[in-house]
Structure 1
Amino acid sequence: MTIAPGTDSFDQTASHGDSRPVYLDCNATTPIEPAVLREVVEFLQGDFGNAGSRTHAYGQRAKERVNRAREEVAAVVGAKPDEVIFTSGATESNNLAILGLEEIGRNTGRRHIITTQIEHKAVLEPVERLRDRGFDVTLLPPNRGGWVEPQSVADALRPDTLLVSVMAANNETGVIQPIGAIADALESHDTYLHVDAAQAFGKLLDELRNSRIDMMSVSGHKLYAPKGIGALILRRRGYRRIPLTPLTIGGGQERGLRSGTLPVALIAGLATSATIAVRHHDSRTAHCIKLRDRLITALEPLNASFNGDLDRTMPHTLNFSVPGVDSEAAIVALKDLVAISNGSACTSQSYDPSHVLVAMNLPDERIHGALRFSWSHLTEEPDWMQVASRLQLIQHS
């Protein structure tokens, strides 16, 4: 595709050639929004100063852009600018939110953590590290629809529960978790609530503005910004900041929680992508719903099973299985038409069954046949009927 100058979107009449498949793996990473790309280049080439340099205009301009970026990112979820800590992405944010609580947990005797079996590995593995260090962990299963019941969170709470970590939307199924109801269940408890919002930031608006969410992880490359930038939003409780211990030291940047020279160009890109996402939220959602509905219609003759409650699924994601169709065979058969996956990009080199679908207690044949299609407002609609026809050929072979 090419960039349409002066617009927020790609010129969808141009492409890289007929041999290139339509990209349908946006839950793994998204293309860069053109307006974002322009700003990133501007701060790489022109305003390339260090935001920590106080003695000249280059540094001052960089600092001013970072300050505006905090405002823009915070505004998406109703936070305050000084509650935004820039990181390299959601994985680092998750690690800081979880491992950063270890010291306060030990000092207060609160060593119980609640999370879910369907979290991204960037949550499950830090939690497992704390388990190895003596913390007690409760892993909650989802129901067959792919979400965790709020009552199960409430039932698992203990006086020594330090942290509850639940993702906003699942990266494999697209199922939206009931964050509002979970937050309500925690209202009278002092535990910290962390939400991995990598798949939802800028896409779910009201749900992430709940003030009971203490910590929120954000990823730029899931929202049409570059890879390598994200944020951890840390809401204060009154005047109290969350007592995190930094994982990276040596400079004191980001309120001492994440030392290192700030990547101003990437921060600017994240902020611009966040602002545009809110501005065009309704039209983007409508386009994604249109693509999803047409895909569902095309799959009807194949008797496909949808892995996740469609009434609770993000409009840009569809995880499904076709009887008699193995996911690896389907990906090969479709590779010249669409670029898709059969699970998380972080574990795509592994042929182990999806831990998310296993936790949902789905039949083995559905798990091994599961395909994840994920798109965006920038996606050119593929020939869904041709996609379905290819799958049908495998089904009948």
Structure 2
Amino acid sequence: MSPTYLDCNATTPLEPEVKDLLLHFLVEEFGNEGSRTHEYGARAKQAVQKARDQVAAVVAAKRDEVIFTSGATESNNIAILGLRSAGREQEKRHVITTAIEHKAVLEPCAALEQEGFEVTRLPVTSGGFVEPEAVQTALQPDTLLVSIMQANNETGIRQPLDRVAEILADHPAYFHTDAAQGFGKDIETLRNPRIDLISISGHKIYATKGIGALIVRRRGYERPPLKPLAFGGGQERGLRPGTLPVALIAALGEAAEIAVRDHAKRRQINLRIRERAMTALAKLNPRFTGDLSRSLDHVINVAFPGLDSEALMLALKDLVAISNGSACTSSSYSPSHVLKAMGMSDDEANACVRISWCHLMPEVDWDVIVNRISGLR
């Protein structure tokens, strides 16, 4: 019997309705969206347009503001590196981000730095969030971009995007958020019209890997002046060329619509799981990571006295699938840059594990897990 999957921040299972639609477009409606001469192409185009509407509706954007990509990593790269030409032309070469961003934000920012841009990486509190006042202090007249994630992938801690949006109200800097973890879960935050650029991934909201989007909001009639990173074909308003993966796009659209439809029901299930987990784990004198009042409903980051994460995961591998950091950096055994930025020592960071669940998971026997952990001491 397989262990219970509790690593939904890394990737989620397919929602059954999404799987059915995915297979329909893989097997039956397999036309190319760019084929304009026959009905297969027309139906594919209709499916893509419907998906744009579904994704846009989650964040109160417009259909033509949705650019399909391969996922949040590509979206982050387009959002950040796509602004460098505008930065040079406007002599705005300052970027603000945080020390706890995903590598898909930190590394494009580092690439800009190598090209002569100034990058300010804001510290975070021990609670795992950036203070809005730090953004205010860091702003300069030549600030081109502020990039702050919606919720951290390792801790689940939500960042104060609404407050940052208020601070940026009278500043022309573009505001980008990596919303891979929060899209479709923390819904109202992303509907703030001051957020110019939003990166999302399908496989975090019960769709597939290999598909995502960048929402590019207009200010009045002007779009952020993004330049493409790749060329050939002109698809997606010239920002992301290549044949559109219609089946993956349709699946993403369906997942986005279901996320809004079932938001309250999913939240209730996730909070019930959270309560049971916290009650059971409390017997082990755990150290929870970050300000839990700011956490997403479906994730906790925790350490247990006297145990490091590798030993813990090994001992539990037949019971549950959990992780000790970002899936994108799991091949690295260095302490988490997120937890270090929160003020942890190497040993403290190396003791932490992430437990993340969803509404599709079977019932978890937390007492069995607690008994197994107790036996390790």
TM range (shorter): over 0.9
- Confirm whether residue 100 of structure 1 aligns to residue 76 of structure 2: no
- How far has the Cα of 1:221 moved from its partner? 0.2
Report the secondary structure of 2:367's partner residue.
helix
- How far has the Cα of 1:117 moved from its partner? 0.3
Matches within 5 A, 1:361-372: 361-372=343-354
The one of 118, 128, 139 equivalent to 1:157 is 139
CA distance in 1, matches of 2:353, 2:76: 26
Aligned to 1:287: 269
Aligned to 1:142: 124
Aligned to 1:309: 291
> For residue 322 of structure 1, what is the amino acid of its counterpart?
F
Deviations 1:333-356 (A, max 9, x none): 000100000000011111100000
Q: Check the 8 A contact 1:323/1:366 in 2, yes or no.
A: no
Aligned to 2:47: 65
Aligned to 1:262: 244
Aligned to 1:34: 16
- Confirm whether residue 114 of structure 1 aligns to residue 96 of structure 2: yes
Aligned to 2:223: 241
Deviations 1:313-334 (A, max 9, x none): 0010000011101100000000
Structure 2 stretches lacking a partner, 5+ long: none
CA distance in 1, matches of 2:370, 2:147: 38
Which has the higher mean CA deviation after the structures are superposed, 380-389 or 252-261?
380-389
Q: Check the 8 A contact 1:87/1:230 in 2, yes or no.
A: yes
> For residue 172 of structure 1, what is the amino acid of its counterpart?
E
Matches within 5 A, 1:326-345: 326-345=308-327
- Confirm whether residue 201 of structure 1 aligns to residue 191 of structure 2: no
- How far has the Cα of 1:365 moved from its partner? 3.3
CA distance in 2, matches of 1:22, 1:241: 44
Q: Check the 8 A contact 1:337/1:382 in 2, yes or no.
A: no
Deviations 1:141-180 (A, max 9, x none): 1101000011100110000000000000000000000100
> For residue 160 of structure 2, what is the amino acid of its counterpart?
P
CA distance in 1, matches of 2:21, 2:126: 43
> For residue 63 of structure 1, what is the amino acid of its counterpart?
K
CA distance in 2, matches of 1:366, 1:392: 19
- How far has the Cα of 1:364 moved from its partner? 3.6
CA RMSD in angstroms comes to 0.7
The one of 246, 264, 279 equivalent to 1:297 is 279
CA distance in 1, matches of 2:353, 2:259: 27
Aligned to 2:258: 276
Aligned to 2:158: 176
CA distance in 1, matches of 2:228, 2:292: 39
Aligned to 2:109: 127
CA distance in 2, matches of 1:30, 1:373: 13
> For residue 9 of structure 2, what is the amino acid of its counterpart?
N
CA distance in 2, matches of 1:190, 1:241: 13
CA distance in 1, matches of 2:123, 2:361: 33
Structure 1 stretches lacking a partner, 5+ long: 1-18
- How far has the Cα of 1:382 moved from its partner? 1.5
CA distance in 1, matches of 2:160, 2:294: 9
Q: Provide the TM-score with structure 2 as the length reference.
A: 0.99
Give the fraction of aligned pairs with identical amino acids, expressed as a percent: 60
Deviations 1:61-97 (A, max 9, x none): 0001111111110000000000000000000000000
Q: Provide the TM-score with structure 1 as the length reference.
A: 0.94
Q: Check the 8 A contact 1:174/1:314 in 2, yes or no.
A: yes
Q: How many pairs align?
A: 377
> For residue 248 of structure 1, what is the amino acid of its counterpart?
A
- How far has the Cα of 1:368 moved from its partner? 1.3
- Confirm whether residue 385 of structure 1 aligns to residue 370 of structure 2: no
Deviations 1:171-218 (A, max 9, x none): 000000010001111111000000000001000111110000000001
Q: Check the 8 A contact 1:195/1:216 in 2, yes or no.
A: yes
CA distance in 2, matches of 1:363, 1:103: 39
- How far has the Cα of 1:393 moved from its partner? 1.7
Q: Check the 8 A contact 1:112/1:135 in 2, yes or no.
A: yes
